[in-house]
Chains A and B, each alone.
Chain A
């Protein structure tokens, strides 16, 4: 079974520039999550989708971050404009659905460095 795919794996940009990350979840997984993991910290949920609808985006800095999952499969996360404090690993995860204690499967992450 193919895992969660993310690209790019690494990205270096200057502050105030824009950047986009892409995630392809495991086939058939209805729920998709984007996390931000700052060095030395545990992952922090940014946004959660159920199919193409947003379930929780309470911790997404909406003034600069946006995410979409138009067809309920792939998802993109965008930062515009980036700040120094956005330097982190952005993890995408997916699970079958919201019920029954489904395990979340994580992708390899995109490491963003903002200079």
Chain B
């Protein structure tokens, strides 16, 4: 069964600090992995998308890494800001298409940035 496991479940850090969120998956075959940010009361917003051949991708202070061999991904947030407080969801697709067929969502990591 395809699964996406995220850790930690929740995380509290001080403003300005860095943090790393983890995503392990068992989805096969693998096509791409996406990280979404979901603010409270809002829909998820895409941060990065990586295919099998990509090891790292950055979006501002967000840097995602992918190790397709170990089926692990991480999302690193640098110099955290209060606005980074949100849930971060890892989503893995077994197909090259953008449809929801087979998309497997993680439960998310709830990140709280404290001043």
Q: Is the CB of A103 within 8 A of B46?
A: yes
State how many angstroms separate the Cβ of A55 from the closest Cβ of chain B: 7
Partner of A96, one of B49, B51, B98: B98
Per the CB 8 Å criterion, the residue count for chain A at the interface is 30
Judge if B96 is at the interface, Cβ distance under 8 Å. yes
Residue-wise interface mask of A (3-25) relative to B, using a CB-CB cutoff of 8 A (1 in contact, 0 not): 01000000000000000000000
Residue-wise interface mask of A (72-105) relative to B, using a CB-CB cutoff of 8 A (1 in contact, 0 not): 0000000000000000000101011111111111
* A residues near B42, Cβ cutoff 8 Å: 108-109
Partner of A101, one of B43, B96, B105: B96
Q: Is the CB of B107 within 8 A of A42?
A: yes
- The interface size bin for chain B is 20 to 34
**Which secondary structure dominates where chain B touches chain A?**
loop
Known contacts A42-B107, A43-B105; is-contact A106 B43 (Cβ 8 Å): yes
Q: Is the CB of B107 within 8 A of A95?
A: no
**Closest A residue, CB atoms, query B110:** A40
Report the Cα distance A93→B44, complex, angstroms: 9
* B residues near A102, Cβ cutoff 8 Å: 97-99
State how many angstroms separate the Cβ of A104 from the closest Cβ of chain B: 7
Known contacts A40-B107, A42-B105, A42-B108; is-contact A48 B43 (Cβ 8 Å): no
State how many angstroms separate the Cβ of A80 from the closest Cβ of chain B: 24
Report the Cα distance A33→B105, complex, angstroms: 14
Q: Is the CB of A42 within 8 A of B89?
A: yes
Judge if B74 is at the interface, Cβ distance under 8 Å. no
Q: Is the CB of B41 within 8 A of A100?
A: no
* A residues near B98, Cβ cutoff 8 Å: 31, 95-104
Q: Is the CB of B99 within 8 A of A31?
A: yes
* A residues near B96, Cβ cutoff 8 Å: 99-101
**Closest A residue, CB atoms, query B105:** A42
State how many angstroms separate the Cβ of A42 from the closest Cβ of chain B: 3
Judge if A60 is at the interface, Cβ distance under 8 Å. no
Within 8 A of A (CB), among B93-112: 93, 96-101, 103, 105-108
State how many angstroms separate the Cβ of B94 from the closest Cβ of chain A: 12
Judge if B85 is at the interface, Cβ distance under 8 Å. no
